[in-house]
Amino acid sequence: MELFFRKYGEGVPLVIVHGLYGASDNWVSIAKVLATDFEVFLIDQRNHGRSPHSVEHNYKLMVQDLYQFLENQGIEKAVLIGHSMGGKTVMHFAKKYPEKVDTLIVLDIAPKSYVSLSKKASIHHYLILNAMRSIDFSQAKSRKEIDNQLIENIEDERIRMFLLKNIQRDAQNKFSWRLNVEALYNHIDEIMNGELSAEEPITGFPVLFVRGADSNYILDKDFEKIKELFPYAELKTIKNAGHWLHAEQPEELLRIIKEFLNS
């Protein structure tokens, strides 16, 4: 699959891979800062953003999509930064193609299953996706009217505003989801699982995990599993940040990333 991408700057290739419901445009401000030292690529993963839709959605395919992207761009080795689902993608990629990884940075996700977490009320992904599937776009003349439909099932305004970034309007001025909502709904358990294990530890490049202090995606006990997979990994915690640390504390995240890449 040929992925949509944005490119900024020149230098060592650096690829940022977004998370579930995200897209490349969520990372433009981060990319422009990193572009002073790197050639930064922002990709849209399959079924997200402007990339093609597919009925299939799993980490094996997302890894192959990323591999094909690097091949198409003539990139032999790259710095890989992945957030949430994108973090799982780059971890799986590093396991299969370690020779293609210059540095690995994983943002607020661990190499474990999140199926049970995803069913908690605060981030119930079936609830979120069903709310998205239930939108009657024929009755919506504005994003506000779409939000009014979402609010019936999703009280958290931050989640709704994030989802509404995925609304598109066609030439006939009709709204629709840019995301492939049906494919994500059909494969949400695979997305939330994606657990990694390794017969041998993965080494040969620097590895950094960054978590939000207010997030429950990387717990203290998870670092033991991280070290089994990536024995030389480092872990940094950003205060006053939850799961979307790139939106909540972008300056601190950039400081940590740049400090690690320059060390």
Domain of 202: which CATH number?
3.40.50.1820
| Domain shared by 161 and 201, yes or no | no
pLDDT band at 117 (very low <50, low <70, confident <90, very high): confident
| Domain shared by 155 and 38, yes or no | no
pLDDT of the residue at 123: 61
| Domain shared by 15 and 82, yes or no | yes
Q: Which of the listed residues 138, 171, 188 is the one where a domain comes to its end? A: 188
| Domain shared by 154 and 252, yes or no | no
Supply the Cα-derived Rg of the chain in whole angstroms.
Answer: 18
Annotated catalytic residue 83: no
Catalytic residue, candidates 145, 182, 195, 234: 182
- Examine the pLDDT at 226 and tell me if it is beyond 80: yes
Q: Which of 5-14, 110-119, 187-196, 199-208 has the lowest mean pLDDT?
A: 110-119
pTM of the complete model: 0.95
Annotated catalytic residue 138: no
User: Coil, helix or strand for 115?
Assistant: coil
| Domain shared by 204 and 167, yes or no | no
| Domain shared by 250 and 206, yes or no | yes
Distance set, CA 114 to CA 42, 79, 84, 118, 196 (Å): 25, 25, 11, 6, 12
Distance CA 220, CA 239 (A): 15
Q: How confident is the model over 56-105, as pLDDT tens digits?
A: 999 999 999 999 999 999 999 999 999 999 999 999 999 999 999 999 99
Q: How confident is the model over 129-140, as pLDDT tens digits?
A: 999 999 999 888
| Domain shared by 77 and 168, yes or no | no
| Domain shared by 103 and 144, yes or no | no
User: Coil, helix or strand for 70?
Assistant: helix
pLDDT band at 190 (very low <50, low <70, confident <90, very high): very high
What average pLDDT does this structure show over 211-239?
96
Q: Which of the listed residues 148, 164, 188 is the one where a domain comes to its end? A: 188
Catalytic residue, candidates 48, 57, 83, 243: 243
- Examine the pLDDT at 141 and tell me if it is beyond 60: yes
pLDDT of the residue at 196: 95
Q: Give the H/E segment covering residue 104.
A: strand 101-107
| Domain shared by 200 and 166, yes or no | no
Owning domain of residue 180: 117-188
What average pLDDT does this structure show over 185-193?
95
Catalytic residue, candidates 24, 51, 84, 118: 84
Q: Which of 20-24, 26-30, 51-55, 116-120 has the lowest mean pLDDT?
A: 116-120
Distance set, CA 151 to CA 2, 111, 136, 162, 247 (Å): 35, 32, 13, 13, 22
Q: Using CA of residue 58, residue 38, residue 6, residue 70, what is the dihedral sign?
A: negative
User: Coil, helix or strand for 116?
Assistant: coil
Q: What is the mean pLDDT of the chain?
A: 94
Q: Which of the listed residues 168, 188, 208 is the one where a domain comes to its end? A: 188
- Examine the pLDDT at 229 and tell me if it is beyond 60: yes
pLDDT of the residue at 118: 63
Annotated catalytic residue 182: yes
> What are 138's two structure tokens?
């024929």
pLDDT of the residue at 119: 66
pLDDT band at 120 (very low <50, low <70, confident <90, very high): low
Q: What are phi and psi of 50, to 5 degrees?
A: -100, 10
pLDDT of the residue at 172: 83
